[in-house]
């Protein structure tokens, strides 16, 4: 799937992804997976529905969906580099994700965000209805040397 808007494109073509770019952002600039090894980024892309955001041929953003395509979808690693923020591109990227034909009929969507609640609420996201039913294993230092 590719969608074009002026000089910008959103594509789910895995071959088009710039994994070095994605890794550089996630490992160095994101708050959620600082220090993640390149191999983990590559593995995650290999097992996800990827959405690359491009200005002409340059990748400027990314998001991925982890899903079984039937019941559950988890939105992860959403970002747009600083120079391209404030242009409505995050909303357009979310529109493309939420409208993707393979994701229609999903019963439960999930994500974690520290600072983009307003964006996601525009697309129907809200607080967990029954937080008492959710559990997790969280290992915050897993990407640091020695797992500390």
Number of domains in the chain: 1
- Domain span holding position 129: 2-147
Span 29-71, pLDDT tens digits? 999 999 999 999 999 999 999 999 999 999 999 999 999 999 9
Sign of the four-CA dihedral 48, 98, 9, 3: positive
CATH number assigned to the domain comprising residue 46: 3.40.630.30
Q: How far is CA 12 from CA 32, 34, 49, 62, in A?
A: 23, 25, 7, 10
DSSP string, 54-94: EETTEEEEEEEEEE-SSSEEEEEEEEE-GGGTTSSHHHHHH
113-140 pLDDT, tens per residue?
999 999 999 999 999 999 999 999 988 8
**Confidence bin at 141 (pLDDT 50/70/90):** confident
pLDDT grade, residue 148 (50/70/90)? Answer: very low
Could you give the percent of the chain with pLDDT greater than 90? 92
Containing H/E element for 22?
A: helix 19-28
Q: Sign of torsion, CA 97 98 103 106? A: positive
Q: Say if CB 105 and CB 98 are below 8 A apart.
A: no
Q: How many beta carbons lie within 10 A of that of residue 5, not counting itself?
A: 12
Q: 11 has which bridge partners?
A: 2, 52
Q: pTM for this structure?
A: 0.93
């Amino acid at each position: 799937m590719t969608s074009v808007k002026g000089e910008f494109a959103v594509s789910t073509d895995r071959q088009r992804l710039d994994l070095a770019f994605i890794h550089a952002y996630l490992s160095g600039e994101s708050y959620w997976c600082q220090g993640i090894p390149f191999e983990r980024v590559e593995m995650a892309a290999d097992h996800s529905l990827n959405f690359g955001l491009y200005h002409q041929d340059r990748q400027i953003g990314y998001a991925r969906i982890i899903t079984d395509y039937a019941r559950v979808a988890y939105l992860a690693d959403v970002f747009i580099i600083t120079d391209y923020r404030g242009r409505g591109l995050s909303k357009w990227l979310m529109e493309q994700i939420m409208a993707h034909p393979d994701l229609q009929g999903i019963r439960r969507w999930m994500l974690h965000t520290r600072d983009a609640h307003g964006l996601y609420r525009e697309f129907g996201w809200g607080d967990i209805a029954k937080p008492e039913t959710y559990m997790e294993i969280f290992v915050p230092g897993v990407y640091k040397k020695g797992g500390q």
